[in-house]
Structure 1
């Protein structure tokens, strides 16, 4: 491992503490300096690029390998990489931004994209896209659209993903029950889950009423959307129907009890209920199949969320963005283009950040895959590709508030602390003023 590729978490935390006191930190030093400017007319001039993202140890290893592959072609480029767990990532990036120390290249998701774009933290990459410096010509159109905020292209999809219902295939088949199917209605799925509970004594499904992904897909199938500009795209009546749907499922014993549902709401991917044996189905991202399988001996399956598949769309699992303040934008842009459009990089990164965004390279990558669970993820995404609906707008600033408040509201209903009507009305009254 190259010494500039290893930045311990303690170093990050020390750096953030210093940033809070408005003093220079290591990342800021790396992001500045005329001698390291990416705008140098000499293509061989030394460049040190700071990179910041979140993820697991496995993701860190893959990312390091991909960046080393870039460095093998550009020996003048060094990387100073910092990574951490997802929790607290946005807050730490905001701290760096407040101190003027934004890393040159950093990761965002749709929970953060509009927030940092409207703060002018992200560079406008429209010219880089139109000139081909970042080639998106082989991307599904919705992946490109979904990285655009207020007319500016600010996020390049690191991979494509879609929500998936991951179920315990071993449990279902050994008990003579049918496997769930893409295209089932919500009522069909809930009835199936109740049958699973009755036959196996394992609750048929995790209750997803606190899951914004599931609610969003359900809304789109009703002809609504999560947002309309800087306003919520649904009414209290819509949310009441959603909470009522899952109250009915709990009454049928299709889901676990409220305390176990809460556990499913707060656990990481390695402890989802489908692998801990506390539910037969979990509502996750399709590309998480391989990681889930590591935590169970049972065979797993994956299908789309219930209802019309056109309610789903090709989503960016994560974006790469460039700091507006970076003096090395050209290098950062070239690194992004390499990560998404170089076959070697795509093969290294696999599906860790979703399926490769470049459809041609995705096809070639799929031919090399041996992991049966990764194959299932790819198959689901490919099967849905022709059924995906148009991408919605990127969520506005305040989306993170909606996500956290949805969990609280849903759990208030699950624990009997509020009726569906009261929980829905309270959420809308709290969230709407915080949007935009």
Structure 2
């Protein structure tokens, strides 16, 4: 560890598998105050200590530390107080820090948190830095747009991602079955999955009716969207049609049984059904394919979700944001610019937070990749780039409620506890009041 970087972490109880690593928040240089203006010292060489907070695995922590070390090698006056933890509980911890006026100078968010923390005035508006201290000219436009809330640029994309349908290529090849393709309709995908199940006795596809990513793509392909401002962008009838589509798939034997579907809904990426042999496909993010491959000897493939690929978009997998009350905004912004626009940093971080946001640096990085699975995930997303639709709005506060209620509603249908219509109406009634 570099002497200028202090990293804090601790292990939770072994039983908390979803939150295997966490850290105490010891932020000796945490930000506070209400100043919205930019600023730090006028002397660019004056000593600066920046507090940094993010979530991730030990592998991500090592990559991030290496990248910050690379920054420090070029800016020896800058020290970092780094804190990281598992995803579970991260938003709650950040909210606690915000309530106490002790927000880290630089911190990570995703689209489940961005609008929430922006509307609480936790995040700084970085618009004034755009085109200056932060260069986003090489980013896909939708990645920049997807970091805006109420007209303010509050997050800089740490990486690009999109939905990916990962399938067991070995299973298909061994049984002389065709591979799924980008552009096949949802009905064609279900028929294909039923064919796989009939030939291999392995359900062709995980049932994604509880997966917000899959529903989001499908509803966009219907000419609607997940949200319209602070309202849901779809009706109960739309959602009932989605549940009915997958009821038909279950009736055809194209998906696993409800208990196995539930297992796929609640497990982490290392135990998705495509690698445990309980389904021929899993519905994930495209950049997760290499991580899935680590957990199976079978060859995997990845394509877009079914339907018109313009329903997908260049999604920011994670953002870097700056504390609104930080008196070190200039320094924090400079670190962000380094992490996303410096080839050395990009090569260090790789695809851990998604494909590099800077297209030019992504291309250069891709030429250095030796892992065939990482190469494939990069290729698939690059191929889809010309087909992407316009990015949706950042989900409003309450998005996490929708995600949890979708799982509950979908499983109520799967287990026969509710009709598609009843489950959809119940979800609307619970979620809509939570948005804002």
Shorter-chain TM-score: what band?
over 0.9
Q: Does the Cα contact within 8 Å between 1:9 and 1:82 map onto a contact in 2?
A: no
Q: How far 1:169 sits from its partner (Å)?
A: 0.3
Corresponding residue of 1:66:
67
Residue 228 in 1 paired to residue 223 in 2? no
Corresponding residue of 1:153:
153
Residue 99 in 1 paired to residue 97 in 2? no
> What are the Cα deviations for residues 77-121 of structure 1, in whole angstroms up to 9, with x where unaligned?
111111111111111111111111111101101000000000000
Distance 2:371 2:78 in 1: 33
Distance 2:403 2:278 in 1: 24
Distance 2:228 2:99 in 1: 29
Considering fraction of residues, name the structure with more helix: 1
Structure 1 length-normalised TM:
0.95
> What are the Cα deviations for residues 399-431 of structure 1, in whole angstroms up to 9, with x where unaligned?
111011101111111111111000000000110
Q: How far 1:9 sits from its partner (Å)?
A: 2.8
> What are the Cα deviations for residues 46-77 of structure 1, in whole angstroms up to 9, with x where unaligned?
11111111111111111111111001001011
Corresponding residue of 1:302:
302
Corresponding residue of 1:419:
419
Structure 2 length-normalised TM:
0.95
Secondary structure of the residue that 2:400 maps to in structure 1?
A: helix
Distance 2:234 2:318 in 1: 25
Distance 2:128 2:29 in 1: 27
Q: How far 1:2 sits from its partner (Å)?
A: 2.5
Corresponding residue of 1:292:
292
> What are the Cα deviations for residues 214-257 of structure 1, in whole angstroms up to 9, with x where unaligned?
00000010001000000000000000000000011111111111
Q: How far 1:38 sits from its partner (Å)?
A: 6.4
Q: How far 1:13 sits from its partner (Å)?
A: 7.1
Corresponding residue of 2:377:
377
Distance 1:271 1:102 in 2: 34
Q: How does 1:380-395 map to 2 (within 5 A)?
A: 380-395=380-395
Secondary structure of the residue that 1:6 maps to in structure 2?
A: strand
> What are the Cα deviations for residues 143-175 of structure 1, in whole angstroms up to 9, with x where unaligned?
000000000000000011000000000001110
The alignment covers a number of residue pairs equal to 423
| RMSD of equivalent CA atoms | 1.6
Distance 1:156 1:96 in 2: 21
Corresponding residue of 1:243:
243
Residue 219 in 1 paired to residue 212 in 2? no
Q: How far 1:31 sits from its partner (Å)?
A: 3.4
Corresponding residue of 1:119:
120
Corresponding residue of 1:324:
324
Unmatched runs of 5 consecutive residues or more in structure 1: 17-25
Distance 1:318 1:29 in 2: 23
Unmatched runs of 5 consecutive residues or more in structure 2: 13-20
> What are the Cα deviations for residues 264-288 of structure 1, in whole angstroms up to 9, with x where unaligned?
1111111111111111100000001
- After the TM superposition, which segments of 4 or more aligned residues of structure 1 sit over 3 Å from their partners? 10-16, 28-33
Q: Does the Cα contact within 8 Å between 1:168 and 1:301 map onto a contact in 2?
A: yes
> What are the Cα deviations for residues 338-369 of structure 1, in whole angstroms up to 9, with x where unaligned?
00000000011111111110011111111111
Corresponding residue of 1:50:
51
Secondary structure of the residue that 1:176 maps to in structure 2?
A: coil
